[in-house]
Amino acid sequence: MGKIVLENVQKHFGTVKVISNVSLTVEDGSFVVFVGPSGCGKSTLLRLIAGLEDATGGRILIDGADVTDLPPTKRGLSMVFQSYALYPHMSVRGNIGFGLKMAGMPKDEIRKKVDAAAATLNLTPYLDRKPRMLSGGQRQRVAIGRAIVREPKGFLFDEPLSNLDAALRVNMRIEIARLQRSLGTTAIYVTHDQVEAMTMADKIVVLNAGSVEQVGSPLELYDRPANLFVAGFIGSPKMNLIGGATAEPYQAATIGIRPEHLIVSRDGGGWAGTISVAEHLGSDTFLYVEVPGVGLVTARTPGEVSFHAGERVMLQPDPARLHRFDKQGQAIRG
Amino acid sequence: MARAISPQKKWTFTILAWVVALILFFPILWTILTAFKTEGDAILFPPAFLPPHWTLENFVTVQTRSDYFKHFFNSMVISIGSSLIGLVIAVPAAWSMAFAPAKRTKDILMWMLSTKMMPAVGVLVPIYLIFKNLGLLDTLTGLTGIMTLINLPIMVWMLYTYFREIPVDILEASRMDGAVLWKEIVYVLLPMAIPGIASTMLLNIILAWNEAFWTLNLSAANAAPLTAFIASYSSPEGLFWAKLSAASTLAIAPILVIGWFSQKQLVRGMTFGAVK
Ligand SMILES: Nc1ncnc2c1ncn2[C@@H]1O[C@H](COP(=O)(O)OP(=O)(O)OP(=O)(O)O)[C@@H](O)[C@H]1O
Ligand SMILES: [Mg+2]
Q: Which fold has domain A4-230?
A: Rossmann fold (3.40.50)
Of all residues in chain A, the one with the smallest CA distance to B177 is A99
Query: In chain B, what percentage of residues exceed pLDDT 90?
Result: 38
CA distances from A115 to A44, A85, A89, A176, B77 (A): 33, 21, 20, 19, 48
Tell which residue, A93, A85, A80, A66, has the closest CA to residue A6.
A66
B81-94, pLDDT tens digit by residue? 999 999 999 998 99
Q: pTM for the whole thing?
A: 0.78
Handedness of CA B21, B27, B30, B36 (dihedral sign): negative
> Does residue A39 line the site of ligand 1, with CB under 6 A?
yes
User: Helix B68-99 and helix B57-66: axis angle, to 10°?
Assistant: 80
Q: How many Å lie between the alpha carbon of B183 and the closest alpha carbon of chain A?
A: 8
Asked if A86 and B175 come within 8 Å (Cβ–Cβ), the reply is no
B172 in any annotated domain: yes
Whether the CB of A81 is below 8 Å from some CB of chain B: the reply is: yes
Give the residue numbers spanning the domain of B191: 67-232
pLDDT at residue number B272: 47
Asked if A102 and B192 come within 8 Å (Cβ–Cβ), the reply is no
Q: How far apart are CA B161 and CA B151, in angstroms?
A: 16
Q: How far apart are CA A282 and CA A304, in angstroms?
A: 8
Cis-peptide into A125, omega within 30 deg: no
Of A85, A89, A102, Cβ closest to residue B172: A85
pLDDT at residue number B48: 81
Residue B96's CATH number: 1.10.3720.10
Q: Is B86 helix (H, G, I), strand (E, B) or coil?
A: helix
Q: Is B172 exposed, middle or buried (0-12, 13-18, 19+ CB in 10 A)?
A: buried
State how many domains chain B has. 1
**Burial call A225-234: b when 16+ CB within 10 Å, e when fewer:** bbbbbbbebb
Cis-peptide into A237, omega within 30 deg: yes
Is 50 exceeded by the pLDDT of residue B275?
no
Contact A227, A239 (CB under 8 A): no
B30-57, pLDDT tens digit by residue? 999 998 988 888 888 888 888 888 888 8
Distance A42 CA to ligand 2 centre (A): 6
Asked if A89 and B191 come within 8 Å (Cβ–Cβ), the reply is yes
B218 in any annotated domain: yes
Of A50, A85, A156, Cβ closest to residue B170: A85
B2 in any annotated domain: no
B263 in any annotated domain: no
> Does residue A44 line the site of ligand 1, with CB under 6 A?
yes
B178-228, pLDDT tens digit by residue? 999 899 988 998 888 888 888 899 889 989 998 888 888 888 888 888 888
Is 50 exceeded by the pLDDT of residue B273?
no
Cβ neighbours of A98 in B, within 8 Å = 174, 177, 179, 187
Handedness of CA A83, A88, A94, A99 (dihedral sign): negative
Q: How far apart are CA A90 and CA A146, in angstroms?
A: 12
B129-187, pLDDT tens digit by residue? 999 999 999 999 999 999 999 999 999 999 999 888 888 899 999 999 999 989 998 89
Q: Whose CA is nearest to atom 28 of ligand 1?
A: A39
pLDDT at residue number B196: 86
Cβ neighbours of A71 in B, within 8 Å = 175
B248 in any annotated domain: no
More confident of the two residues B266 and A75: A75
Domain assignments of chain A as residue spans, ordered by start: 4-230, 237-325
Q: Kindly report the CATH number that applies to the domain delimited by A237-325.
A: 2.40.50.140
Contact B197, B91 (CB under 8 A): yes
Per-residue confidence in pLDDT tens, chain A, 334 aa: 789 999 999 999 989 999 999 999 999 999 999 999 999 999 999 999 999 999 999 999 999 999 999 999 999 999 999 999 999 999 999 999 999 999 999 999 999 999 999 999 999 999 999 999 999 899 999 999 999 999 999 999 999 998 888 888 998 999 999 999 999 999 999 998 888 999 999 999 999 999 999 999 999 999 999 999 999 999 989 999 999 888 888 899 999 999 999 999 988 888 999 999 999 888 899 999 999 988 999 999 988 878 888 999 999 999 899 999 999 999 998 6
